[in-house]
Structure 1
Amino acid sequence: MTQNDFKKLSEAVGGLRRPADLRLDLNIKPKNSSSESPTSPRISRSIDLGFTDVSYAVRTGILNRGRRELLKTVSGNFKAGELTAIMGPSGAGKSTLMDVLAGFTTSAVTGQVTVNGQPRNLATFRRASAYIMQEDNIQPLLTAEEAMHVAAELKLNLCKQDKTRRVEKILVALGLDEARHVLSGRLSGGQRKRLAIALELISNPPVMFFDEPTSGLDSVTSKQCIGLLKALAREGRTVICTIHQPSALLFDMIDHLYVVAQGYCLYTGGTSNMVSYLAEQGLCCPEYHNPADFILEVSAGDYGNFVPLLSRGIKNGSSNKWRSPAIGGLSKIEEMIASGLTTPVRAPRLPPTPILHMDKPEKDYHQITGEYATSFWKQLYVLLKRNVIRLSRDKFLTFTRISMHLLIALLVGTLYYQIGQDAAYVFDNFNLLFFSIMFLMFSAFNSTIITFPSELPIVMREHFNRWYKLRSFYLANKLADFPVQIVAASTFTLVVFFMSGQLPEIRRLLLYVTMCIVVSFVAQTVGLILGIGMDIRNGVIFGPLVILPFMIFSGFFVHINDAHPYMQWLFHISFLKYGFEGVMVAIYGYDRPKLDCSIVYCHYKYPRQLLKEVDMTEAEYWSSISILIGLYFALEVIAYIALRIRLKHRR
């Protein structure tokens, strides 16, 4: 291939360069260089990630003190400019190893991880890296272009024109230009995978991790995906992925292979050298047999237990004997494009992003750059805007919630039509008031316990990749959902209030509606806490077990004075009790005059007589609502802490 042919080929794949030209093209300074940028501290774009004697163990049970080692003193070195693949059978420890290297798993890890030979500063490293998980975890109700602009607003501290140009460049380079106006949830598997990469590529991180990037893709799309990762690596990035069982074609596209099994490293080096290494250990790969399949069969023990032998032969990952030399001339991917075996894949040519040295003290790092690219208020604004768009398109979470409240209100209002001022139906009205707050409690509770678990993986990916502060996300979610919940609860209470013929006093109406809204907010936060701690299936099963006690001790089924003294304290921790007392006082308290009676005799013509009968003569509206508001803020704090703990542990 001539020099002109290589130039044409480089243009086809988006500016791939020979390694000799790579450092100059990306303005990468040598690792031992002491020169500094005039406007920022020392800049290092080329990142080699090493690790020595890394071990990781997990507990085998809640009550069992035993621990199971998933990684056993493995070592290795992943270099910039190479596509590194971690391979192994299921349960071998490949995803665990990548989680440790990415900083996704930090507790119970021993050993050392280094960046360019220096101990890694985790906070700085995470700012310079991106983790694309196996599940795409993209907001399904945003278009590809909208999702890209949100990422640009959160991850870049540039002017609007520069952000737009970068978004356009990445969309075109990754083949998403024609799908820019398609909702992310309607994209094909390959397009979703490319969009997930594009979102993290916005900040042009020098280190990128991919967990099973070809999972769920067909052979053609898998080939394009690996080609894209290869192109990203050729631009000078450190690209690391896990892969389960690649085809022979995909296997040949990998620059550096790292094989793990039973927590040990069985091989590290070039894919073309693996067969020779296995032969040296007495394992001959059959002719015309996919080497990737063969090493997996060996790892799984199909030919006997060779794990200890192979681990010793490669020194558990610390040996570089079988590593391929620096790539010169045309790489494998470029040869395949030239021969027509794969489709050209382009990597966007992005300007280098200044990244501080990985060994710089963390306190200095935060003082100079900040942990996030944008401020708290900018994050809040962007996330709030995104949530408004999402809620406007979410038929279940928004329109269905409001229409359901209206439909149930019309049904209940018809059933209890014009009974509110008739003493003959006072206990029917009593039942109506309890049903109102019970319905609002369950609807608000279920709306979060069902929907938030699906949102959690998206939060986990975006927060880990340093898109925004957790409090920005939490507050934006609350502010966006407030109007929806208020409209839904108000629609129900207003329709029920007027159709049931309650006393038409503006003060009673406002007190009634306010109490119902506050009860719904408290129930919603209880559902949020369970949604954070459980998946949808467990939440649906165990959620009623959590919420039903509040209803039992609300004072409707059993009055507090009729309960056993040892159980009366349970009434005082039921938020539904305070809500029920509040609506009863709003409707029947404040010296309400004698009720009309449509029959010969009505025992409860005087509202105070009813309040005495149900043990609510001492109930006070403002005391009840103060307790509910205080409980609401306490539960919000608990929910926020639970979310932080969930994101910290992640697994």
Structure 2
Amino acid sequence: MASSPVSSGSASDSVPCGKKDLVHLNRIARKPPVDIEFQDLIYSIPDSKAKGGWRQLLKSINGTFRSGELTAIMGPSGAGKSTLLNILAGYVTAGVKGSIKVNKKPRQTKIFNRLSSYIMQEDLVQPRLSIRESMVVAANLKLGSNISQNDKLAVVDEVIRLLGLEKCNNTRTEHLSGGQRKRLAVALELVNNPPVIFLDEPTTGLDNVAIKQCMELLQRITKQGRTVICTIHQPPASLFQNFDQVYIMANGYCVFNGSPAQLVPFMLLANCVCPSTSTPADFIIELIQSNPENINILQNQIQNGKCNLRDKIESKSVTQHSNEMYEICQDTTRSGITRDDITFPTSFWTQFLVLSSRMFLQMSRNKSMLYIQFFHHLFSGLLIGGIFFGTGDSASQTMSVFKFCILINVFVMYTYVMSPVLVFPMEVHLLKREYFNRWFGLKAYFCATTVVNIPLLVLNLLMFCIIVYTLSYQPLEWHRFFWFFTVSLASAICSQGLGLAIGASFEILNGSVVAPHILAILLAFAVYGMGYGAAIEPFMKVMMSTSYMRYGLVGVTSSIFNKRKPMQCDDYYCHYRNPELLMTEMGMPNSNPQLQFWYLLVSLVVYRVIAYLALKYRMTSELRNKIVHYAAKIVKQKET
């Protein structure tokens, strides 16, 4: 079990090559070996230019991927490698025809999701956490509460040693090299001992040394009895023979299926002689790219994957695998396990607590974000307070105070909408990997995100409100300041919910364009009718009620002017000496901040629900795919 040292900053770190058994992991999270078989697999997407309105990306392909083997899905760009991987992993199901079997039995998606992990091409890991901290979080989420904390920590140490990460155990993820990040991404998914691991282009962005290390890592994982399936464009010649099985695709067909050593003899049978100056992998890809007719020849020769040209190997019988899988299925149905238990190993509250603690830790370490938010509220408060300095107790400045209320709401709106619009899309990319691999439920994540952000929001906004309220000489009455701050806080949380909804729906570029347009409309509805008194059209009243900014503006204004005695006039004539006159002319007669606060609470809930649904839609790729396919079918039926 000797291991070579691993530095924390180089992509060419050495990795221990000795075999290491996962004693603790295999004891507390035993899973059966899994063989995956697919037959006549077809995948189509809507395409108006294609014949019949559908374009086939996979064309009746076949294959079997066995446990204890490292399988590479290869082929040129556009061959269908990632599409096949997505379908086998269960990431895509809409538009798929054919059969997928697990240990000779039809795949049950809910159970299979518990037995597999999908490591996507982008090696995204949570920032501002050390390797060990990231692993402990993964263990707490992916291993059930029936496993003791000591056992979870033993598993974490075991996996870290297996992947050669012990020397950079306490290194933050943002300081890891490319190879180390790849290994950490694998380690995080290995915590719950999945028997099937899917990897999409695991060698992308790595140099030759790091690619070799990555392949050695996958080989060690495979030797633990797992089914490891990865897509790879063109591996270096020195690593091609390290695969146990190679599945080569071209234009949606299978053109080779078997052991790497069988590739050259197979091409000879098809009258294709591999030159001594070319590697077999490079030659077959050049062959199918140079002449499309070669694709038909090769796929007919291999019967589109039905033939498997394998070296003789000794492996556990599929029948025994099938029996173990059957026992697990029976145990699941007999033990009264609910649908949520099948999907997630931990309860909602456990997920919420673990995610909240992780988010608090990440936020406390994000010093630049904390400083930016603090000084933004401080300088903005001093600026706005300085502009309206001393206006609050003068009857001649009543209209200026009203403008002050508008500016407060505009500040709150743009500050708390734009922050999640610019930041949350990056978190969505991190969330996608963890959520698809069933670390936690979306409800727990969304609740944790909401709760974690509120304390900092309250502190910064309280500082801002104290500064602007005192500098502008507003009435020093506790109940007025309380409602001034409370309404502003409710508006801020509403704005944050709207920002989350936009951030969950769009990428940063599109969201930064959409958000100002939405805010402009809400602001226009908020100030519509100012000066009309009660003469506002019924239709516009309905439209104004859709703007939470309207409730925020009325609430802040009424907190300052509601039931206020006539103000002192230091000029010849002060038209709005009685603030009630201003409130009436601005279309806010007899208003009070308490009622506006309740309206804001309703808006707050609505925006949070919209944000959650948008995030759910974004995470559930199958929902989007099914909507597209159903819509395409409806359009096609109408055309015919």
The alignment's TM-score, normalised by the length of structure 2, stands at 0.88
Q: 1:358 offset after TM fit, Å? A: 6.3
The equivalences for 1:560-579 within 5 A come to 566-579=539-552
- Give the match's secondary structure for 2:255: strand
Correspondent of 2:87 among 100, 109, 128: 100
Q: 1:68 to 1:619 in 2, by over 3 A?
A: farther
RMSD: 2.7
Q: 1:466 offset after TM fit, Å? A: 1.4
- Give the match's secondary structure for 1:451: helix
Q: 1:477 offset after TM fit, Å? A: 1.0
Q: 1:363 offset after TM fit, Å? A: 4.6
- Give the match's secondary structure for 1:220: helix
Q: 2:17 matched to which residue of 1?
A: 13
Deviations 1:155-182 (A, max 9, x none): 1232111111221122222121121221
Correspondent of 2:190 among 178, 189, 201: 201
Q: Distance in 2 between matches of 1:108 and 1:249?
A: 38
Is the 1:434–1:556 contact (alpha carbons within 8 Å) kept by the matching residues of 2? no
Is the 1:44–1:357 contact (alpha carbons within 8 Å) kept by the matching residues of 2? no
Q: 1:402 offset after TM fit, Å? A: 2.7
Q: 1:245 matched to which residue of 2?
A: 234
Q: Distance in 2 between matches of 1:358 and 1:421?
A: 75
Q: 1:553 offset after TM fit, Å? A: 1.1
1:230 maps to 2:219: yes
Q: Distance in 2 between matches of 1:562 and 1:280?
A: 88
Q: Distance in 1 between matches of 2:25 and 2:597?
A: 62
1:173 maps to 2:158: no
Q: Distance in 1 between matches of 2:126 and 2:529?
A: 43
Q: Which moved more, 1:517-526 or 1:392-401?
A: 392-401
Q: Distance in 1 between matches of 2:132 and 2:432?
A: 21
- Give the match's secondary structure for 1:276: helix
Q: Distance in 2 between matches of 1:271 and 1:469?
A: 41
Q: 1:71 matched to which residue of 2?
A: 58
Q: 1:324 offset after TM fit, Å? A: 2.2
- Give the match's secondary structure for 2:97: strand
1:394 maps to 2:366: yes
Q: 1:334 matched to which residue of 2?
A: none
Q: 1:581 matched to which residue of 2?
A: 554
Is the 1:417–1:500 contact (alpha carbons within 8 Å) kept by the matching residues of 2? yes
Deviations 1:461-495 (A, max 9, x none): 11111111111111111111111122222221121
Q: Distance in 2 between matches of 1:16 and 1:255?
A: 20
Which runs of 5 or more structure 1 residues have no equivalent in the other structure? Answer: 1-10, 29-36, 329-353
Q: What letter matches 2:521 in structure 1? A: P
Is the 1:356–1:365 contact (alpha carbons within 8 Å) kept by the matching residues of 2? no
Q: 1:44 to 1:552 in 2, by over 3 A?
A: closer
Q: What letter matches 1:367 in structure 2? A: I
- Give the match's secondary structure for 1:253: coil
Q: 1:129 matched to which residue of 2?
A: 116
Q: Distance in 1 between matches of 2:270 and 2:281?
A: 17
Q: What letter matches 1:148 in structure 2? A: M
Q: Distance in 2 between matches of 1:477 and 1:633?
A: 15
Q: 2:354 matched to which residue of 1?
A: 382
The equivalences for 1:81-480 within 5 A come to 81-157=68-144, 158-300=147-289, 302-320=290-308, 322-326=309-313, 357=327, 360=330, 363-364=333-334, 367=337, 370-480=342-452
Is the 1:88–1:299 contact (alpha carbons within 8 Å) kept by the matching residues of 2? no
Q: What letter matches 1:45 in structure 2? A: P
Is the 1:44–1:356 contact (alpha carbons within 8 Å) kept by the matching residues of 2? no
1:609 maps to 2:581: yes
Is the 2:25–2:192 contact (alpha carbons within 8 Å) kept by the matching residues of 1? no
Q: 1:193 to 1:604 in 2, by over 3 A?
A: same
Q: What letter matches 1:313 in structure 2? A: Q
Q: 2:496 matched to which residue of 1?
A: 524
Q: What letter matches 2:70 in structure 1? A: L
Is the 2:45–2:55 contact (alpha carbons within 8 Å) kept by the matching residues of 1? yes
Q: Distance in 2 between matches of 1:473 and 1:207?
A: 25
Q: What letter matches 1:81 in structure 2? A: G
Q: Which moved more, 1:137-146 or 1:302-311?
A: 302-311
Is the 1:115–1:358 contact (alpha carbons within 8 Å) kept by the matching residues of 2? no
- Give the match's secondary structure for 1:198: helix
- Give the match's secondary structure for 1:497: helix
Correspondent of 2:514 among 528, 539, 542: 542
Q: 2:568 matched to which residue of 1?
A: 596
Q: Distance in 1 between matches of 2:444 and 2:387?
A: 44
Is the 2:480–2:560 contact (alpha carbons within 8 Å) kept by the matching residues of 1? yes
- Aligned residues between the structures: 596
Q: 1:548 to 1:395 in 2, by over 3 A?
A: farther
Deviations 1:389-428 (A, max 9, x none): 0111223543322321111111111121111111122222
Q: Distance in 2 between matches of 1:385 and 1:132?
A: 24
Q: 1:305 offset after TM fit, Å? A: 2.8
Q: 2:457 matched to which residue of 1?
A: 485
Deviations 1:430-474 (A, max 9, x none): 111111111111111011111111011221111111111111111
Correspondent of 2:598 among 604, 608, 626: 626
Deviations 1:609-641 (A, max 9, x none): 111221111433232221211121122222222
Q: Distance in 1 between matches of 2:561 and 2:168?
A: 59
Q: Distance in 2 between matches of 1:218 and 1:419?
A: 65
Q: Distance in 1 between matches of 2:512 and 2:196?
A: 40
Q: What letter matches 1:582 in structure 2? A: G
Q: Distance in 2 between matches of 1:191 and 1:357?
A: 37
Is the 2:25–2:155 contact (alpha carbons within 8 Å) kept by the matching residues of 1? no
Deviations 1:497-520 (A, max 9, x none): 111110000000000100011111
Q: 1:175 to 1:299 in 2, by over 3 A?
A: same
Q: 1:371 offset after TM fit, Å? A: 3.3
Choose between structure 1 and 2: higher helix proportion: 2
Q: 1:559 to 1:456 in 2, by over 3 A?
A: farther
Q: Distance in 2 between matches of 1:60 and 1:546?
A: 32
Q: 1:56 matched to which residue of 2?
A: 43
Q: 1:333 matched to which residue of 2?
A: none
Q: 1:204 to 1:393 in 2, by over 3 A?
A: same
Is the 1:59–1:65 contact (alpha carbons within 8 Å) kept by the matching residues of 2? no
Deviations 1:56-102 (A, max 9, x none): 1222379x992222111111100111100011111211111011111
- Identical-pair percentage: 35
Q: What letter matches 2:19 in structure 1? A: G
- Give the match's secondary structure for 1:420: coil
Q: 1:16 to 1:299 in 2, by over 3 A?
A: farther
- Give the match's secondary structure for 1:246: coil
Q: Which moved more, 1:424-433 or 1:117-126?
A: 424-433
Q: Which moved more, 1:636-645 or 1:493-502?
A: 636-645
- Give the match's secondary structure for 1:570: helix
Q: What letter matches 1:481 in structure 2? A: N
Q: 1:599 offset after TM fit, Å? A: 2.3
Q: Distance in 2 between matches of 1:287 and 1:510?
A: 83
The alignment's TM-score, normalised by the length of structure 1, stands at 0.86
Q: What letter matches 1:100 in structure 2? A: I
4+ residue runs over 6 A deviation: 25-28
Is the 1:210–1:240 contact (alpha carbons within 8 Å) kept by the matching residues of 2? yes
Which runs of 5 or more structure 2 residues have no equivalent in the other structure? Answer: 1-14, 316-323, 625-640
Is the 2:160–2:166 contact (alpha carbons within 8 Å) kept by the matching residues of 1? yes
The equivalences for 1:32-47 within 5 A come to 45-47=32-34
Is the 2:31–2:115 contact (alpha carbons within 8 Å) kept by the matching residues of 1? no
